[in-house]
Structure 1
């Protein structure tokens, strides 16, 4: 059977519709035939000529990673959040388990997500990983996961001043017991983590997010061209 060929306009329409259906599914307002429509759209998008797309992010706490990831999720990307998985498996950071144990508890979850990301890409799904990826070596490891699945990998760098990030963190700290993406951090934590962060250099192709999603979307459109 000849695969269905979609032009860019139809792809955008399908992605927007898929995003609306996924949002309805999350809020419990999905119509009776919604799951069938989601499956059909996913299969249609998976059959397009371009590769699946993997979005990785490089940014500290308060750099708006989740905002970008959710915007892409609304456009049909499958979003994976290690923080949410840790919350579901172990509870609240600093309340239900010691703060110093986070990395130990996170590592097996990252490995689990890596497997799921690979499977999703191989099935033709677009994926965004809602995670900071602080070091070049970590980003290279995940880039290889995407490339091994023949996906187009886009790295999004989310810079920003300490003041900007700290203002967002202070506000986010107010929801720390209700939101798995709002782990409590002090200003000292943020400064210490910033000293360990390796921003992408010229040897790491990336697009910079400064509040406008359009450059990210343009980079993704370009990456999907075979």
Structure 2
């Protein structure tokens, strides 16, 4: 009996685009194993970690997650990567890794206007401050603008799915 490898569901979108919401939905509906670095960094460092701690912790988590999600997918479990995949380089590396292991990749594009994105972030920040939402990190307006400069939308040659299509 040949086992089918799991499918990799990767979410591409900027802060506030709905990645975590879709990740939780896919986790329930498929079902799948979900990897959300924000939840882990929040658990380890709090909702507003200092930059000098956040970056190394995130890098270590992503390395650890990769070993786990690749193994899970190779064993037949669908996985959801709630990362953002902001750069073309990250997406190309993901495609290469999936191809190397014979894994089917579904890349979802989530997008909205900056006004909508910031409105969602403000609402999330309020829930985090009120202790009503755990697993999210605080984003201030300056960081939002700085991060925006590093976000690279999908190029026309990058295949993707839109939420709701599987």
User: Is the structural similarity TM-score above 0.5?
Assistant: yes
Alignment coverage as a number of residue pairs: 163
Q: CA deviation at 1:51?
A: 4.2
TM-score (norm 2): 0.88
Alignment-derived partner of residue 152 in structure 1: 104
Give the unaligned 5+ runs of structure 2. none
Residue 13 of structure 2 corresponds to residue 59 of structure 1: yes
- Measured in 2, the distance between the counterparts of 1:136 and 1:180 equals 30
Could you tell me which residue of structure 2 aligns to residue 133 of structure 1?
85
The structure with the larger Rg is 1
- 1:162 matched residue in structure 2: 114
Q: CA deviation at 1:147?
A: 2.1
Higher relative contact order, chain-length normalized (CA < 8 Å, sep 6+): 2
Counterpart for residue 171 of structure 1: 123
Match for residue 32 of structure 2?
A: 77
Measured in 1, the distance between the counterparts of 2:65 and 2:57 equals 13
Partner of 1:131, secondary structure, is: strand
Residues in 2 aligned to 1:181 and 1:164: alpha-carbon distance in whole angstroms:
21
Contact 2:42–2:137 (8 Å) recurs in 1? no
Instruction: Name stretches of at least 5 consecutive residues in structure 1 with no aligned partner.
Output: 4-46, 218-226
- Say if 1:159 and 1:208, in contact at 8 Å, map to a contact too: no
Q: Give yes or no for the alignment of 1:92 onto 2:46.
A: yes
Instruction: State the alpha-carbon separation in 2 of the partners of residues 62 and 73 from structure 1.
Output: 19
Separation of aligned partners in 2, 1:120 and 1:201 = 29
- Distance (whole Å) between structure 1 residues aligned to residue 126 and residue 53 of structure 2: 22
**How many angstroms apart in 1 are the aligned matches of 2:68 and 2:144?**
30
TM-score under structure 1 normalisation?
Answer: 0.66
Asked if 1 retains the 8 angstrom alpha-carbon contact of 2:5 and 2:77, the reply is no
Question: How many Å separate the matches in 2 of 1:155 and 1:192?
Answer: 25
Determine which structure has the larger helix proportion and give its number. Answer: 1
RMSD of Structure 2 on Structure 1 (CA): 1.8
| Preserved CA contact (<8 Å) 1:82 1:109 | yes
| Deviates further, 179-188 or 165-174 | 179-188
- In 2, the alpha carbon distance for the partners of 1:180 and 1:101 equals 19
- The Cα shift of 1:130 comes to 1.1
Q: Does residue 1:197 correspond to 2:133, yes or no?
A: no
Question: Within 1, Cα distance between the matches of 2:113 and 2:139?
Answer: 16
Per-residue displacement from partner, 1:23-76 (whole Å, max 9, x unpaired)? xxxxxxxxxxxxxxxxxxxxxxxx4xx542101111111000011111110120
Task: String of CA shifts for 1:120-163, please: whole Å, max 9, x gaps.
Answer: 01101111111111101111222222222211101111111011
